[in-house]
Amino acid sequence: MRAIAAATLLLMSACHGGSDKYRQQPDVPLRNSLLGKIIRAAKPTIIKDLHAENNGSEFHVDDSVRSMLAVPLVTKGKPLGILCLYGGKRRCFDADDERLLGSLGRAAAMAIENARSHRRMLAAEEALRSAEKFSMLGELAAGLAHEIRNPLTTIKMLFSSMSLQQKFLAESQQVVEIVNKQINRLETI
């Protein structure tokens, strides 16, 4: 089971064995629950009689189950979830089981944290690539504007000089005004 929503609920993430009813049970609240107490204690816990401890109210436990070994998955002081191993009527867990599952739980918590860190790193890299693309696009636009304005300035100066020196017919004067207006518009780009 893994913790969700700022560690207020546990939901089933993976399950091997168990009845359909167990696998399809609703999310388990952490507050004042057996699993919540185990997670807050942050250490592996053996429950010899799970039915007596659970009272059947917190989460569904199959009738064939007697005991439980639960290991909180904690990394950097944050609960990620809980790894539960259930034993049948003739199976009681011992200190060796607790050490073994505790080691597996620590390794699983580190693997989950590493996967999350990797996902965050990939997202940051993608954001950086996107920012670099926008930066390059801005540089390209600035370079293009510069390349347009340099010859445009020359064209404007020469055309202004030419239009002042020459007398145009009335119909040609209208064309001169249109060209001046378009040159001024291009300068605003």
Query: Average of pLDDT values for 109-117?
Result: 93
Q: Is 88 left (phi over 0), alpha (psi -120 to 50) or beta?
A: beta
pLDDT band at 6, cuts 50/70/90? low
Of the candidates 96, 80, 84, the residue with the CA atom closest to the CA atom of residue 59: 84
The pLDDT, as a whole number, for residue 5 is 42
The pLDDT, as a whole number, for residue 185 is 84
CB within 8 Å of 33: residues ≥ 6 apart: 58, 59
Q: pTM of the prediction?
A: 0.64
Structural element, H or E, at residue 144: helix 95-165
- Structure tokens belonging to residue 83: 């790894």
Of the candidates 153, 135, 161, 136, the residue with the CA atom closest to the CA atom of residue 189: 153
- Find out whether 25 and 59 touch, Cβ atoms under 8 Å: yes
Say which amino acid occupies 52: A
CA 72 to chain centre: 23
With 0-12 CB in 10 A as exposed, 13-18 as middle and 19+ as buried, what is 81? buried
CB within 8 Å of 157: residues ≥ 6 apart: none
Per-residue pLDDT tens over the stretch 10-63: 777 888 888 888 888 878 877 778 888 888 888 999 999 888 887 656 777 888
The pLDDT, as a whole number, for residue 174 is 81
- Structure tokens belonging to residue 186: 């291009």
Percent of the chain clearing pLDDT 70 (strictly above): 94
pLDDT band at 157, cuts 50/70/90? confident
Strands (E), 48-139: 65-75, 78-88
The pLDDT, as a whole number, for residue 83 is 92
| Rounded distance between C-alpha atoms, residue 140 and residue 163, angstroms | 34
The pLDDT, as a whole number, for residue 105 is 93
